[in-house]
Amino acid sequence: MLYKTKYLIRLLIITLSVDMIDITLIAQNHPNLILTKPGVEKIRGNMDAAPLFAQTLAAAQNEVDAEIDEGIAVPVPKDMAGGYTHERHKKNFFILQKAGVLFQLTGEEKYAAYIRDMLLDYAKLYPTLGLHPTNRSYATGKIFWQCLNDANWLVYVSQAYDCVYEWLEPAERALLEKDLFRPMADFLSLENPRFFNRIHNHSTWANAAVGMIGLVMGDEGLVKRALYGLEDDQIPEDARDNDGGFIKIEGKNVAGFLAQLDYSFSPDGHFTEGPYYLRYAIYPYLLFAKSLVNHKPDLGILEYRDGILTKSVYALLYQSDPRGAFFPINDAQKGMSWLARELVAAVDITYFHAGDDPTLLSIAEKQSKVFLDEAGFQVAIDLAQNKAQPFAHQSIEYRDGDDGKKGGLGILRMNGTSNSELCLVMKYAAHGMGHGHFDRLSYALYDDDGEVIQDYGSARWVNIDQKGGGRYLPENKTWAKQTIAHNTVTVNEKTQFKGKVKAAEQQHPSRYFFDASNPNVAVVSAKETSAYSGTELHRTMVMINDEQFRNPLILDLFRVEATDSQQYDLPWWFQGHLLSTNFDYTAETSSLSTMGEAHGYQHLWKEAEGKAKEECAQICWFYEGKFFTLTRDAQADDALIFARLGANDPDFNLRHDPAFILRRENTKSTLFASVFESHGTYNPVREIPEHPFGSIQNVTPLYGDAQYCIVSFETKGGREWVFMMANQNASTDAQHHVQVGEKTFEWRGVYALEEK
């Protein structure tokens, strides 16, 4: 009773003080969160013109009808992700949201009744719940093991509630709001400030959940809390989440949805945690934004920060391989792509609300479904009218940091004469918060079939109960985040920043140069000076198209400047099966040992080691019907190591992937140069190898110091190129001149590639 009185008083105060909104009026204007009354009218009358919408709706109907037949289950929460209660509650919110849409678009009351009945079950259960019994999260939920999933629930269920709002009896609404929605909104915000008041994808869900249910209930207090955060959260500066990420951004005390828009993205829409997490966060970002468009058009949320949400959707689409699978940078499960449900919403909402870009329609076509609102409806109509145009992946650089000054991500793409795309992504972004990997100046390489040189991704099987309840596995920290797990130099067998998140978050790499304007030569170059003390790392990657080669080449120059003698390991995490080398090696045939004790080396078996016979070490390998060759300069003492992942893995959590590692010991400053080729194909049905051998004969560093790098490479047919590079002057006008013995090299700008 006391609670109720307090509640009514609070409601009264909010209603009177904040916006003087007439609750009665709002109550008569549902749905208006995602679906709107006029939108519903339009859709109902024109379904024939939008076959993909009708098809998506029919699939939703089949799914929801089957659930209705099975009956409602609202079990007492107990399990981790992957377990029954978790998966059941998760399914419930997906189904409730769809049932709401179905009620509005078909008018069939059974859907409304199903929502009412299930929500009343939740309203009965919720007040009885303490914290979830697992108690394993920095922010334990009630329905799920973490608040994050409770917030997911509320973002989806707000939509269902909006759809049946007017159909429900006022007493039912009152009960649901009193026992379920309002307590949940408070739990996710007031009672969990570390979860709610943070610049992080978790908090985006929290903000959206509280804001969306606030909009449906007409509770401006909740909406304000969602937009601007809690005023005083009393969170200590050094508080961390389960993934080791800091709750607070040093020196900033901001929170709420608008602050997320200000600080989660770079000015061009890049999301520090990477595309896998942006894919996850984009749903609450866009759904709450769309709700605000409908409820508070004056806020101009889609124009906020120069249209940051639209930019973020494009950033997401561009940060994917030729098949549309997101680059698995930082913690990310591989295979997530623009086919994800969140992207269906993102593509359709962006198309409808931000400019009718016809290239988005071709992605919608691949998704083979649309978002079930007016936006998806328009997409389906325009698809039926053949307005789709191909989505063109572009070479592009994304800056990192809210100010765009914290490094970035360089993406190079070209098609060779084989017409397959080669796509390189080099990472020189800031540390990706709790999900960051110690992988500065690493890269990954893709073609039309997927990975060629891989990034490991995360050591996690999302939602698969058998693997640690679906959470991050211990090997995520001991392996996946470590530097040797990535295609970048590891110094002295130590991970960058010795694996310290705080140190990594305080420094960022710096972009040096990015230019993809020349269709035949594209360059990305960046530096990192703080990951290892007394050591400057500078990598330049060049994609080169020439009609002689079936696919573009990759020239890779990794320059190290160091004051002391050190050991450098540069791995190639090639996908596939080794075919041949041009050097001798000794294989460990009857026993295997690990390559080290820590920093990820404890997870590597050493399979073989050799020395280069010639000035270049070459390996040729085969993967998914294609032949690849890597040619790299090698010094006489360089160790050429074949390693395989899988040691110290008592629970079989890791993949057993191969790597080729060049190790250079007792060296101060040095330059690593290599050329990668994708040159041939083989199909086991035809059994005829096409171009099984690479064309490159050698790659030779001609000059290398802090100021300049000059490298030549030559084909077996005798063609020779020279790549010249200024390391300390990014001006495109500067004139450079280097004398090497009797030869003079002259060029203008940062780099030049010349055929001799």
Given the rule CB under 8 A, which of 161-169, 197-205, 247-255, 682-690 is the region that contacts its own copies?
682-690
Given the rule CB under 8 A, which of 10-18, 19-27, 446-454, 592-600 is the region that contacts its own copies?
592-600
Does 590 participate in binding its own copies (rule CB under 8 A)? yes
Q: Minimum distance from CB of 550 to its own copies (Å)? A: 15
Among 106, 359, 593, 739, binds its own copies (CB under 8 A): 593
Residue number, 94 or 228, with CB nearest to its own copies = 94
Q: Minimum distance from CB of 74 to its own copies (Å)? A: 19
* C-alpha gyration radius of the chain: 28
Residue number, 26 or 462, with CB nearest to its own copies = 462
**Helix 275-295 and helix 304-318, axial crossing angle in degrees, nearest 10:** 140
Does 579 participate in binding its own copies (rule CB under 8 A)? yes
Distance CA 746, CA 731 (A): 15
Distance CA 159, CA 168 (A): 14
Q: Minimum distance from CB of 656 to its own copies (Å)? A: 6
Helix (H) or strand (E) holding 3: helix 2-14
Residue number, 168 or 453, with CB nearest to its own copies = 453
737 tagged catalytic: no
Given the rule CB under 8 A, which of 46-54, 204-212, 578-586, 668-676 is the region that contacts its own copies?
578-586
Among 587, 598, 706, 734, binds its own copies (CB under 8 A): 587
| Peptide bond preceding 38 in cis form (omega within 30 of 0) | no
What single-letter DSSP state applies at residue 599? T
Binding residue count for its own copies, defined by CB under 8 A: 57
Q: Which of 743, 712, 708, 744 is CA-nearest to residue 726? A: 708
Q: Minimum distance from CB of 645 to its own copies (Å)? A: 11
Does 622 participate in binding its own copies (rule CB under 8 A)? yes
Does 89 participate in binding its own copies (rule CB under 8 A)? no
What single-letter DSSP state applies at residue 460? B
416: Cβ contacts below 8 Å, ≥ 6 apart? 422, 545, 549, 550, 551, 552, 678
Q: What is the 3-state secondary structure (H, E, C) of 100-154?
A: HHHHHHHCCHHHHHHHHHHHHHHHHHHHHCCCCCCCCCCCCCCCCCCHHHHHHHH
Annotated catalytic residue: which of 435, 486, 508, 679? 435
Q: CB of 548 within 8 A of CB of 719?
A: yes
Does 293 participate in binding its own copies (rule CB under 8 A)? no
Residue number, 624 or 637, with CB nearest to its own copies = 624
What does the CA dihedral 523, 528, 532, 535 come to, rounded to 10 degrees? 80
DSSP 618-650: EEEEEETTEEEEEEEE--TT-EEEEEEE-SS-T
Helix (H) or strand (E) holding 9: helix 2-14
398 tagged catalytic: no
Residue number, 577 or 756, with CB nearest to its own copies = 577
Residue 140: phi, psi to the nearest 5? Answer: -65, 140
Walk across the sheet containing 639-645 and list its strands. 490-491, 566-572, 658-667, 639-645, 604-611, 584-587
Among 48, 69, 687, 733, binds its own copies (CB under 8 A): 687
Distance CA 147, CA 135 (A): 11
Does 444 participate in binding its own copies (rule CB under 8 A)? no
Given the rule CB under 8 A, which of 48-56, 146-154, 339-347, 425-433 is the region that contacts its own copies?
339-347
Annotated catalytic residue: which of 126, 138, 165, 277? 277
Given the rule CB under 8 A, which of 66-74, 84-92, 346-354, 369-377 is the region that contacts its own copies?
84-92
Given the rule CB under 8 A, which of 21-29, 302-310, 689-697, 703-711 is the region that contacts its own copies?
689-697
Does 339 participate in binding its own copies (rule CB under 8 A)? yes
Does 692 participate in binding its own copies (rule CB under 8 A)? yes
Q: CB of 504 within 8 A of CB of 497?
A: yes
Does 381 participate in binding its own copies (rule CB under 8 A)? no
Q: Minimum distance from CB of 164 to its own copies (Å)? A: 25
Does 464 participate in binding its own copies (rule CB under 8 A)? yes
Does 599 participate in binding its own copies (rule CB under 8 A)? no
The 633-652 site mask, x for binding its own copies (CB under 8 A), equals ---------x-x-xxxxxxx
Residue 551 identity: N
Does 577 participate in binding its own copies (rule CB under 8 A)? yes
Positions in 517-546 near its own copies (CB under 8 A): none
Q: Minimum distance from CB of 586 to its own copies (Å)? A: 8
Instruction: Classify residue 329 as left (phi > 0), alpha (psi -120 to 50) or beta.
Output: beta
Q: Minimum distance from CB of 568 to its own copies (Å)? A: 25
Does 404 participate in binding its own copies (rule CB under 8 A)? no
Among 82, 100, 229, 410, binds its own copies (CB under 8 A): 82
Distance CA 605, CA 337 (A): 32
The 652-671 site mask, x for binding its own copies (CB under 8 A), equals x--xx---------------
Does 620 participate in binding its own copies (rule CB under 8 A)? yes
User: Which residues are paired to 677 by β-bridges?
Assistant: 629
Distance CA 583, CA 641 (A): 11
DSSP 497-515: GGG-HHHHHH---EEEEEE
Distance CA 559, CA 569 (A): 13
Q: CB of 583 within 8 A of CB of 616?
A: no
Among 253, 529, 602, 715, binds its own copies (CB under 8 A): 602
Give the chain's length: 756
Q: Minimum distance from CB of 478 to its own copies (Å)? A: 12
Q: Which position has the token pair 């020439």?
A: 546
Does 463 participate in binding its own copies (rule CB under 8 A)? yes
Among 340, 485, 616, 726, binds its own copies (CB under 8 A): 340
Residue number, 83 or 358, with CB nearest to its own copies = 83
What single-letter DSSP state applies at residue 15? I
Q: Which position has the token pair 């009026």?
A: 25
Distance CA 21, CA 471 (A): 43
Among 341, 498, 500, 502, binds its own copies (CB under 8 A): 341
Q: Where do contacts with its own copies occur on this chain (CB under 8 A)?
A: 82, 87, 90-91, 333-337, 339-341, 461-467, 577-580, 587, 589-594, 602, 605, 607-608, 620, 622, 642, 644, 646-652, 655-656, 682-689, 692-693
Residues annotated as catalytic are 277, 435
